[in-house]
Amino acid sequence: MINLILFGKPGSGKGTQAEFVKNKYDLIHISTGDLFRNNISNNTELGLLAKSYMDKGDLVPDEVTIKMLESEVNNHPNAKGFIFDGFPRTTVQAEILDQFLITLKLSISMTIALEVDENLLIERLISRGKDSGRSDDQDRTKIQNRFDEYNKKTSPLINYYKNQNKFFDVDGVGDINEISYRIFNTIDNNI
């Protein structure tokens, strides 16, 4: 079983590459953003709880997020593995995820970070924002704040996985297929 965590700053191509990895290795892609949207739109107990925090402008507590994630993993008992996208975002969340996976006799196989220069990412996001209409992708200050938040929260997380020899960075610049090839090579050579 392969269990991957995909890292990358906004605009790095995580969502696109997660689809390719999911299809090649027959994995279940778990995006926390999708989990929140699905739980909220289906008015699940966890969705309503998450929405109550979000409506107040508060972050959804780790316990609520991990319960959604646990539920999603448990809904796929015959999965060949999982791609976790958007979780964990902190070392505490990584420890919680590890503890949960241990109860299923599973573990994270590896983490892959798509590395792209921030200036290039800003151009990608602004272009994406024009096409999608997403306001958070059209404002350079908001984009930089997202990068700063990512850098602050994920650096300890990167060290957490480096200490377990489970962290790999992949050049996220170039043709989409070239990037996929780099990711596949990283997986095939290290699992």
Confidence of residue 133 (pLDDT cuts 50, 70, 90): confident
With beta carbons less than 8 A apart as the criterion, state whether 87 and 10 touch.
no
User: Does 77 sit behind a cis peptide bond, omega within 30 degrees of 0 on the bond before it?
Assistant: no
146 a catalytic residue: yes
182 flagged as catalytic:
no
**Is the distance from CB of 91 to CB of 109 less than 8 angstroms?**
no
**Is residue 7 situated within a structural domain?**
yes
Is residue 57 situated within a structural domain?
yes
Active site residue 166: no
What CATH number has the domain bearing residue 65?
3.40.50.300
Mean pLDDT to the nearest integer, 91-113 = 94
Task: Please report, in angstroms and rounded to a whole number, the separation of the first and last CA atoms in the chain.
Answer: 10
Amino acid identity, position 157 = L
Is 128 a catalytic site residue? Answer: yes
Going by pLDDT thresholds of 50, 70 and 90, the confidence category of residue 32 is: confident
DSSP 85-148: ES---SHHHHHHHHHHHHHTT----EEEEEE--HHHHHHHHHHHHHHH--GGGT-HHHHHHHHH
Q: Within a domain: residue 136?
A: no
How wide is the angle at C-alpha 157 spanned by C-alphas 110 and 66, nearest 5°? 80
Lowest mean pLDDT among 28-42, 49-63, 82-96, 171-185: 49-63
Q: Is the pLDDT of residue 137 over 80?
A: no
Mean pLDDT to the nearest integer, 101-108: 95
Which position among 24, 37, 130, 134 bears the catalytic label? Answer: 134
14 is catalytic: yes
Give the model's pLDDT for residue 173. 94
Range of the domain at 113: 2-117+154-190
pTM: 0.85
Query: Is the predicted pLDDT of residue 19 greater than 90, yes or no?
Result: yes
What are 143-163's pLDDT values in tens digits?
A: 888 888 888 888 789 999 999
| In the predicted structure, residue 27 carries a pLDDT above the cut 80 | yes
Residue 5 has pLDDT above 90, yes or no: yes
Number of separate domains in the chain? 1
From the list 51, 67, 128, 153, the catalytic residue is 128
**Mutual angle of helices 176-190 and 14-25, in 10-degree steps:** 50
Instruction: Answer whether residue 86 is part of any domain.
Output: yes
Q: Does 111 reside within a domain?
A: yes
Position 132 in a domain: no
**Residue of 51, 67, 142, 146 marked catalytic:** 146
